[in-house]
Structure 1
Amino acid sequence: MVPSFSAYFAVPYLWRGRDLQGWDCWGLVAWVRPHTFGLPCPDHAGIYSARPETRAERFALQSTLISSQMSAWTRVERPPPGNVILFNIDGLPVHTALYAGQGDFLHCLATRRPGQSATRLERLSDLQWEKRLEGFYELCS
């Protein structure tokens, strides 16, 4: 059964955000994983303090951070709900999401307008995401 995520759909994108006031893609993972699935998740907001000026700088920073954290992740082939999904954007592993079950995933995308809702429930089978899928991961503690 897919949990209800309706309370999260109004949450806007916020760089380094970690709660219902706003979050980035890892912020969503760090909030929803323990609150909805009861699974632990590190915060990581303190690791990246400066906001990059360009998309390329942001992706380079995110890729470096994710790569440095992956030693604590275990790749899984059949993920249960609550596992982390990693997507490649522009060839870099920079976007995280949560597997929601039944082929759905929950994620947050940067928006052009501050305060705009950025949280989405989408299908892994959608071509734009299927071709970017890097893998499913369980976080090790």
Structure 2
Amino acid sequence: MTKTVSDFVGIPYVPHGREYAGADCWGILFLYYRDVLGTPVPAYSAEMEAREFCNRSIGLLVDEEREKHWQQVDTPDVGDCVLMRAGRHDSHVGVFLGQGRMLHSEGPDPSVIERIADMRWRNRISGFYRLNQ
């Protein structure tokens, strides 16, 4: 069965989660890429758990992986990764859905669709990234 965007809204926030029963921000991107785009991306759950989900440590993982697997783009397309800061570090991601919207999950709240231009997000966006294939 093909998944639609609405299938991703309301997924409970679970740190390191990679399932519809619970997912963190990367888990939402992981599920979307797998089930909508048909493109596998690394789960990174073990790496994130080992780093104890500290924003600084996760930021370092993001930097390492971004250089290996992702290309920054000026204008995002549907499915591109939205990279955001939490505090001073890049440590939060969402999926760009087009029309200025993104899908993401930021604990403890379940996954939602929000506008990237909203006050809460517009100054936190570090960039848009496309998976190298």
| Bigger mean CA deviation after superposition, 98-107 or 33-42 | 33-42
Q: Residues 51 and 57 of structure 2 are in contact (CA less than 8 Å); yes or no, is this contact kept in structure 1?
A: no
Paired residue for 2:56? Answer: 60
Aligned-pair distance for 1:33?
1.7
Amino acid at match of 1:88: R
Q: Unmatched 5+ residue regions in structure 2?
A: none
RMSD of equivalent CA atoms: 1.8
Q: Corresponding residue for 2:37?
A: 37
**Counterpart of 1:132?**
124
TM-score of the aligned structures, taking structure 1 as reference length: 0.84
Q: How many residues align?
A: 130
Asked if the contact 1:15/1:51 (under 8 Å) is kept, the reply is no
- Give a deviation string over 1:14-39, Cα, whole Å, max 9, x none: 11100101111101101112212333
CA deviation digits over 1:90-128, x for unaligned, max 9?
1110100000011100000111xxxxx510100011021
Moved over 4 A (4+): none
Cα distance, 1:15–1:51 mapped onto 2, change above 3 Å: farther
Q: Is the 8 A contact 2:83 2:90 kept in 1?
A: yes
Q: Is the 8 A contact 2:84 2:125 kept in 1?
A: yes
Q: CA deviation at 1:73?
A: 1.1
Identity %: 28
Is the Cα contact below 8 Å between 1:39 and 1:82 reproduced in 2? no
Of 126-135 and 31-40, deviating more is: 31-40
C-alpha distance in 1 between matches for 2:99 and 2:129: 16
Indicate whether 1:11 and 2:11 are aligned.
yes
Give the distance between the partners of 1:76 and 1:39, measured in 2 at CA: 18
Contact 2:103 2:114 in 1 (8 A): yes
* Whole-angstrom CA distance in 2 between matches of 1:100 and 1:27: 16
Whether the 8 Å CA contact 2:83–2:92 is kept in 1: the answer is: yes
Amino acid at match of 2:131: L
Shift of 1:51: 6.9
